[in-house]
């Protein structure tokens, strides 16, 4: 990306926290069946001593409903010896097809799984529906041996809409985490002039337990969130340069700092950074944390999971060049 002098000057004015985080970037080799582009991964989580990779499970494209996972001890060995061969386990998701049919009967169109949260043997998913569908869904299941069995319950959640009542393109609840035994779901689009909200439910997913918490206005997309300790959460904040309905994620030129990150000389660029989200018990605020090196700006990063020494991140399938593939990185804090 070539920046004008003005853009460089604005980038230098971004809070100094960008310069305070440095990572060694380790690319983790994935087996062919795992990195296959139509897995379209959309979530990561560390749980039960394993790293879980959630496929979007696009049933409409004849894809399997599944997760993959790998033991953390294997990943630690790989970081020391990149010739080590990782062994991934597949977890079939049982019952998703029946729930997608239920959604269709409610005149909502299933498009894929967007986020997950695992606690013990329980697992929770958010479902993205197509743009015209006014509802998206939360699901609950349990691990039984290596597979996941979903309950028959659907928790519908109304999508936020533009002030004129129209839909936000390709936007659902893109991230799930837990705070004090409550599930918190983050919407992909959080750039309304007012009333940007994070949705909360208890682990029963009963609508009666639903609450809303405000989140500071945030440009671009949230694509995943991971706990970072002490009421802090790290999120992927991604902008795709596309035209058409994707332009809803552009910011106006009056938002000078964020506008400069994505546009120069009348041309838009992909942009991705990590942000730090803080929850004070009443509302969420955020600040920039780290921006991706230029060579990784064009990847559609959709999953993040923190451990004590850094972050695992994964894209869905989109990369700057073909053939498309899913790429798993480890961002290791420099000592």
- What's the pLDDT score for residue 323? 94
Rounded to two decimals, the pTM is 0.92
What is the Cα–Cα distance from 313 to 191, expressed in whole angstroms? 24
Closest C-alpha among 228, 229, 238 to residue 314:
238
Per the DSSP assignment, residues forming a β-bridge with 193 are none
Contact partners, residue 91, CB within 8 Å, separation at least 6: 52, 66, 67, 68, 69, 143, 146, 147, 148
What order do you get walking across the sheet with 284-291 strand by strand?
A: 189-190, 218-229, 232-239, 271-279, 284-291
Residues in the chain with pLDDT < 70?
1-20
- What's the pLDDT score for residue 83? 94
Residue spans per domain, the chain: 5-333
Query: What are the pLDDT digits (tens) for 30-77?
Result: 999 999 999 999 999 999 999 999 999 999 999 999 999 999 999 999
What is the Cα–Cα distance from 179 to 125, expressed in whole angstroms? 16
- What's the pLDDT score for residue 155? 95
- What's the pLDDT score for residue 20? 54
CB atoms within 10 A of CB 164: 5
What CATH topology corresponds to 5-333?
A: Tachylectin-2; Chain A (2.115.10)
């Amino acid at each position: 990306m070539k920046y004008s002098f003005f853009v460089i000057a604005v980038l230098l004015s971004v809070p100094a926290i960008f310069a305070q985080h440095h990572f060694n970037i380790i690319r983790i080799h994935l087996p062919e069946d795992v990195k296959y582009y139509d897995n379209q991964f959309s979530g990561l989580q560390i749980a039960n001593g394993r790293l879980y990779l959630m496929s979007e499970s696009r049933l409409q494209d004849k894809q399997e409903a599944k997760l993959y996972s790998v033991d953390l001890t294997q990943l630690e060995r790989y970081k020391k010896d990149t010739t080590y061969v990782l062994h991934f386990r597949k977890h079939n998701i049982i019952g998703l097809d029946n729930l997608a049919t239920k959604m269709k009967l409610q005149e909502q169109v299933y498009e894929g799984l967007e986020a997950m949260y695992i606690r013990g043997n329980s697992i929770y998913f958010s479902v993205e529906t197509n743009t015209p569908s006014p509802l998206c869904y939360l699901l609950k299941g349990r691990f039984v041996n290596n597979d996941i069995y979903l309950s028959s319950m659907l928790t519908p959640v109304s999508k936020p809409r533009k002030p004129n009542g129209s839909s936000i393109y390709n936007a659902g609840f893109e991230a799930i985490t837990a705070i004090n035994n409550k599930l918190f779901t983050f919407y992909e689009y959080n750039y309304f002039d007012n009333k940007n909200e994070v949705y909360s439910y208890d682990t029963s997913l009963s609508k009666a337990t639903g609450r809303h918490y405000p989140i500071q206005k945030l440009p671009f997309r949230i694509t995943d969130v991971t706990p970072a300790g002490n009421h802090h959460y790290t999120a992927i904040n991604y902008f795709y340069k596309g035209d058409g309905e994707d332009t809803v994620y552009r910011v106006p030129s009056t938002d000078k700092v964020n506008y400069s990150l994505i546009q120069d000389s009348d041309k838009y660029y992909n942009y991705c950074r990590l942000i730090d989200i803080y929850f004070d018990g009443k509302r969420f605020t955020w600040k920039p944390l780290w921006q991706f090196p230029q060579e990784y700006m064009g990847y559609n990063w959709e999953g993040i999971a923190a451990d004590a020494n850094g972050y695992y991140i994964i894209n869905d399938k989109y990369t700057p060049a073909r053939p498309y593939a899913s790429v798993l990185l480890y961002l290791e804090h420099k000592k």
